[in-house]
Amino acid sequence: MVTHVPAEATGDERGALLAFVEEQRGGIRRALLGLTEEQARTRPSASELSLGGLLKHVAEVEQGWLARAKQEPPAVVRDESNWHETFRLVGDETVAAQLAYWEGVAAETEKFIRSAPSLDDTFPLPPDPWFPPEGRVSLRWLCLHLIREFARHAGHADIIRESLDGRTAFELVALEQGR
């Protein structure tokens, strides 16, 4: 589990964007530290969100956007019939398996962004009604979108974790660092 991005990784725009993406991934991963599978599936608020479900969602979202940027189909296609499963671990899905999957997706994202000729390179948006018709976005936009997506859900994760056992983000950073 990557918890610290070396300072030299942020010396250019790509490195800075990828460092912020990783920083927000870390907030979500830390929220799961020390929890049982049962705790990770618990929904302690009025919301349907659980930490395991958030983990699954962000892994799917990152993989889906990376696939779009590569102009490939996403690994998991969501629509009205299965959207409810995006925020929930189902069947034999586990936190460990989702973390491993997300780690692979993160490595693929890093490799793709670092190898792209330019952050100005664009790819088409999907034909969903909430996107402009025939819209395109840049790889820079993709990185910024992932930062926004993960930061939003890292905040959700903080609230859920604190509701579960009272641990705050500061305590989880210390736990991750062995303090």
Neighbours of 33 (CB within 10 A): 14
Residue 91 pLDDT greater than 60, yes or no:
yes
Residue 2: per-residue pLDDT: 42
| DSSP symbols for 126-139 | PS-TTS-TT-EEEH
CATH number of 7-176: 1.20.120.450
Residue 158 pLDDT greater than 80, yes or no:
yes
Average pLDDT over residues 153-179: 92
Nearest to 68 by CA among 104, 114, 109: 109
Domain ranges of the chain: 7-176
Alpha helix stretches (DSSP H) within 42-134: 51-69, 95-115
pTM of the model as a whole: 0.90
Residue 5 pLDDT greater than 70, yes or no:
no
If you search the block for the tokens 């009604």, which residue do you land on? 129
Look up residue 105 and give its two tokens: 């997706």
